[in-house]
Structure 1
Amino acid sequence: MRISKPSIRNAALILAVGAATAALAQDATRDAPSGNARQSTTDQGQTVMDRLGRAIKSGEDAAGRAPDPRLPRTDNPADRRRAFEALRGRTSMPEMEARARAAQAKGEASLAAERERQAKALRQALGLEPAEEQALAKAAPAVAAKGWVPVLFVSSSMPIPTLRSYAVQLERVHGVMAFRGVPGGLKRMGPMAKLTAQILRLESDCEGPNCVMRDVQLIVDPIVFRQHGIAQVPALAMIPGDPTQAYCERDDDSPRAAHVVFGDSALSGMLEEYARLGGKEEVAHAQALLVAR
């Protein structure tokens, strides 16, 4: 913190006043009447005030003579060069630098952990992620996707009841619901999180982290839309492999469906149309799962 000149003067003045006060106290003790007072009380008070005035004046003079602690400002290039050379020539302290780097890394790790904790709390509040107790109770080994996976192309502009109905059917066939983008843009994930919760909650009026969610994966993948030429929704494609792989990790040559079915109809009707177009083998497993329940 920079110390200004007025601060130095004030400090000197306070010290001078303090010294004068102590001296006056001693004089008052020596001059106190022990029987026959030489001066009246009024005269003693005036003497004290005169001494105090002289002490204050002396303190102000001393403060005025105090040197200015601020460094002089200069535009001389030589002075600047010498200053920077002095900074570059300072003694290196590897131990302090290592401690500073360690403290920075620890702070960054702590910040990342706090962000993840807050994100998890937000997902639980929206019902997108079960509470820890619920997650442990329902923990089960993941089953790798085999064959063709039903991918239903949808949009956030579709009615919520329609999206919820498709989620019920896709859960039976282990299907995936795909969106081209995020409502409000990629910088705003809140609307997409809310939409996901509205679609996947088993009970539409349930609120909070303990809501039961349907086992349906929702993806945001503009590449898969472009690969299959999706210009209207809903649409169904049977994609080989794992369509939930992040689109930033895939390219335009990734596996794609042989056919695409368009139309706002039940999933069973879309599967039948896909089989009629020549994809009977691709939809056989999904149709069996849909009928079995």
Structure 2
Amino acid sequence: MPTCRLSASSARRLAAAMAMLVSASALAQDSVAPENARDRTAAEGEAALDRLERAAAARKKEAEVRGPTALPTPSEETRRRTFEGLRNRAPSSAMDARARAALDKGKDALAAEREAMAHRLGQALGLEAPDMEAVAGVAAPPTTKGWVPVLFVSSSMPVTTLRTYAGQLERVGGVLAFRGMPGGLTKVAPMAKLSAEILRHDPGCEGPACAMRDVQLIVDPLIFRQHGVSRVPALAMVPGDPALPYCEREDDSPRASHVIYGDAALSGLLEEYARLGGKKEVSDAQARLQGR
């Protein structure tokens, strides 16, 4: 079947017609798209204005319900009248007396609390005799109780060494004696911290609930002077109670017959004390240390 071919003039007319159709479609799109975009923009703007108006109305209503949040600034006349009223007020002797009485009562209560705390802290550090009747409900034990092992130590010694001595002294009812407190006698906190580190059963425990060793710890420069202790550690078997406060201690109070120096275990110090003639003094401590 023969193929029909368009003539040149027909082809030109067909191309022109198609171009006209494409141009008309583009014009139609150009004329519709901007109008639709303007409509959408206008609609969104109106919606935003409506939301803004509603938010402003809600804020205004909330402010009316809540009331003013700032105090009004008083006028000069109001300020003048206020200060004149304060200056011209009638004094009340009863009110002044009540205020002074309350102040004095607060000062007395604070002073009593400080005194009680200082008393308890002094008992804990061995600076004052404990109130056995109030604490334990029994009479205080007699001061003469044989010979007590007193180990003279210093805060400059390693804490591990002090902890080891504390564990050994707990078994024999001994005493750890310090010449002074770290930082001086006016600073109690460092000594309290060191005492807790020495006496805790668990060195990693923190707080007041930690279990402590039953060892007396004293700060007593006089007992160092009485026994002529010049270096530490040193051991002395002191007759009586070495933890008595200064006011209850006699100048000629009994002293140990020997002082043993050396960085050794408590058992070795007791053996050396016995070798020098103090076998009777250390017999009880040796028996407790060996578990008999």
TM-score by length of 1: 0.57
What's the counterpart of residue 111 of structure 2? 112
1:7-39: CA deviations, max 9, x gaps? xxx889967xxxxxxxxxxxxxxxxxxxxxxxx
Per the alignment, residue 151 of structure 1 pairs with 150
Distance 1:276 1:229 in 2: 20
* 1:199 paired residue number: 198
Deviations 1:70-111 (A, max 9, x none): xxxxxxxxxxxxxxxxxxxxxxxxxxxx99997677434411
Q: Is residue 223–residue 252 contact of structure 1 (8 Å, CA) maintained in 2?
A: no
Q: For 1:201, give the aligned amino acid.
A: R
Counterpart mapping for 1:1-293 below 5 A: 106-115=105-114, 146-292=145-291
Secondary structure of the corresponding residue to residue 168 of structure 2: helix
The CA distance in 1 between the partners of 2:79 and 2:152, in whole Å, is 81
Separation in structure 1 between the aligned mates of residue 270 and residue 242 of structure 2, nearest angstrom:
18
Residue 246 of structure 1 and its aligned partner are, at CA, apart by 1.3
Deviation at 1:112, TM superposition (A): 3.0
SS at 1:107's partner residue? helix
The structure-2 alpha-carbon separation of the partners of 1:12 and 1:156, relative to structure 1 and needing over 3 Å to count, comes to closer
Q: Which moved more, 1:189-198 or 1:244-253?
A: 244-253
Change (3 A) 1:204 1:99: same
Q: Is the 8 A contact 1:227 1:252 kept in 2?
A: no
**Number of residue-to-residue matches in the alignment:** 195
Alignment-derived partner of residue 36 in structure 2: none
C-alpha separation between the residues in 1 aligned to 2:192 and 2:227? Answer: 26
| CA contact 1:170–1:216 (8 Å) conserved in 2 | yes
Q: Distance in 2 between matches of 1:14 and 1:189?
A: 55
Secondary structure of 2:238's match? strand
| 2:128 alignment counterpart | none
Please give the secondary structure, in 1, of the residue aligned with 2:181: coil
Rounded Cα–Cα distance in structure 2 between residues aligned with 1:226 and 1:121: 26
Distance 1:121 1:279 in 2: 36
Amino acid at match of 1:277: L
Tell me the alpha carbon deviations over residues 150-172 of structure 1, each in whole angstroms, 9 at most, x when there is no partner. Answer: 00000000000000000000000
Shift of 1:255: 1.3
Gaps of 5+ in 2: 1-75, 82-86, 88-96, 126-134
Q: Aligned in 2, Cα 1:279/1:159: closer, same or farther, shift over 3 Å?
A: same
CA-to-aligned-CA distance 1:32-55 (integer Å, 9 cap, x gap):
xxxxxxxxxxxxxxxxxxxxxxxx
Q: Quote the offset at 1:238 in angstroms.
A: 0.4
Shift of the 185–261 alpha-carbon distance from structure 1 to 2, 3 Å rule, reads: same
- What is the Cα deviation at residue 275 of structure 1? 0.6
SS at match of 1:219: strand
* In 2: Cα distance, 1:184 partner to 1:244 partner: 22
Structure 1: distance between partners of 2:261 and 2:230 = 10
What percentage of aligned pairs have identical amino acids? Answer: 66
Partner in structure 1 of residue 40 of structure 2: none
C-alpha change, 1:228 and 1:121, in structure 2 (3 Å) is closer
Name the residue aligned to 1:38: none
Alpha-carbon shift at residue 118 of structure 1 (Å):
6.7
1:253 to partner: Cα distance: 1.3
Q: Which amino acid in 1 is paired with 2:264?
A: S
- Whole-angstrom CA distance in 2 between matches of 1:206 and 1:14: 64
- SS of equivalent residue, structure 2 residue 290: helix
- TM normalised by structure 2 equals 0.57
Return closer, same or farther for 1:14/1:223 CA change in 2, 3 Å cut-off: closer
Between the aligned partners of 2:150 and 2:211, the Cα distance in structure 1 is 23
Moved over 4 A (4+): 10-15, 98-105, 116-123, 138-145
Per-residue CA deviation, residues 200-246 of structure 1 (Å, 9 max, x unaligned), is 00000110010000000100000000010000000000001110011
SS at match of 2:167: helix
